[in-house]
């Protein structure tokens, strides 16, 4: 199955929710854990125990594993395996982007099933040109994976680049959306998506031909609410993948607390999107 089809099936089975796994130092210490690989491992094992068989998609932030070097990467590899074994999809937040053989290397690292870091989908940035990501798109097609490309993010400095006008008058963000839409042409459920921050508000973007998913991070502790999902995310609410991180993770280390927080977030998203998933 393509990633797009598997994502649709996962959302139908478990609901439209993505949980970010962002083990910030403050979060580890807030859980009473040490800020080291041992604390990282206990943190991720608890998240897996609490939510892996209940949530459709998980989005580990690679940076918070990489900061511990090889031991942190080992924890990331184990977390990916455990999440996928529990039937969840894993979207690795790595925001990679380069050219030529380097992009091909990233594609092999994350989208080739032979890799110990193989996941269902990754995030990527297009600022060396959307075409520079072609090796990632090719690997995703070959192995049933997905790629989410940054379009309009909520960080304060994003607008100077992402809302800048291209030679034909389109904002850069719209150019990204349009090029990803071309990759999804003819697919019943496209495997290539875009990232639009939930805190951005009305975007002015035309998503009507995207044909793929829209990852909406920034819900909860970053300031957006499920109600914000009704503005700027296109005509198909079923395409939106809302993502929460600290709002849910702060409810740990209690397994019951994590489950309750995830259930509350999912209920909010279902009401806001008014979709039967």
Identify the helix (H) or strand (E) that includes residue 216: strand 214-219
**Catalytic one among 81, 95, 143, 170?**
95
- Decide if 95 is catalytic: yes
Angle between helices 100-111 and 134-143 (to 10 degrees): 30
Closest CA to 212 of 231, 232, 240: 240
Cα 254 to Cα 46, 206, 234, 258: the distances in Å are: 8, 42, 36, 6
CB 97 within 8 A of CB 126: yes
Identify the helix (H) or strand (E) that includes residue 218: strand 214-219
Between CA 116 and CA 99 the distance in angstroms is 23
Q: Residue 267 is encoded by which pair of tokens?
A: 């209920």
Between CA 146 and CA 211 the distance in angstroms is 13
67 HSE (CA, 13 A, CB side): 10
Burial class, 129, CB count within 10 angstroms (exposed 0-12 / middle 13-18 / buried 19+): exposed
Q: How many CB atoms neighbour CB 269 within 10 A? A: 25
Q: Which residues of 16-37 are buried (b: 16+ CB within 10 A; e: fewer)?
A: bbbbbbbbeeebbeebebebeb
- Degrees, nearest 5: CA angle 212-218-223: 140
Catalytic residues: 95
């Amino acid at each position: 199955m393509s990633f797009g089809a598997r994502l649709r099936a996962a959302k139908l089975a478990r609901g439209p929710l993505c949980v970010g796994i962002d083990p910030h130092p403050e979060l580890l210490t807030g859980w009473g854990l040490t800020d080291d690989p041992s604390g990282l491992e206990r943190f991720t094992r608890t998240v897996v125990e609490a939510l892996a068989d209940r949530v459709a998609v998980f989005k580990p932030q690679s940076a918070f594993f990489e900061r511990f070097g090889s031991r942190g990467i080992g924890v990331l590899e184990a977390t990916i395996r455990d999440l996928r074994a529990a039937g969840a999809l894993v979207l690795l937040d790595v925001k990679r982007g380069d050219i030529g053989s380097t992009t091909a290397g990233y594609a092999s690292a994350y989208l080739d099933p032979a890799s110990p870091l193989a996941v269902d989908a990754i995030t990527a940035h297009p600022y060396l040109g959307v075409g520079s990501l072609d090796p990632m798109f090719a690997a995703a097609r070959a192995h049933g994976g997905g790629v989410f490309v940054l379009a309009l993010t909520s960080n304060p400095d994003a607008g100077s680049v992402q809302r800048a006008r291209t030679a034909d008058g389109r904002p850069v963000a719209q150019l990204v959306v349009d090029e990803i839409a071309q990759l999804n042409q003819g697919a019943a459920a496209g495997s290539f998506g875009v990232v639009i921050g939930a805190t951005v508000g009305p975007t002015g973007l035309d998503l009507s031909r995207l044909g793929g998913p829209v990852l909406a991070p920034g819900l909860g502790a970053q300031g957006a609410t499920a109600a914000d999902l009704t503005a700027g995310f296109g005509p198909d609410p079923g395409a939106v993948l809302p993502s929460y991180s600290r709002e849910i993770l702060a409810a740990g280390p209690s397994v019951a607390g994590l489950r309750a927080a995830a259930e509350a977030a999912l209920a909010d998203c279902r009401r806001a999107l008014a979709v039967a998933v």
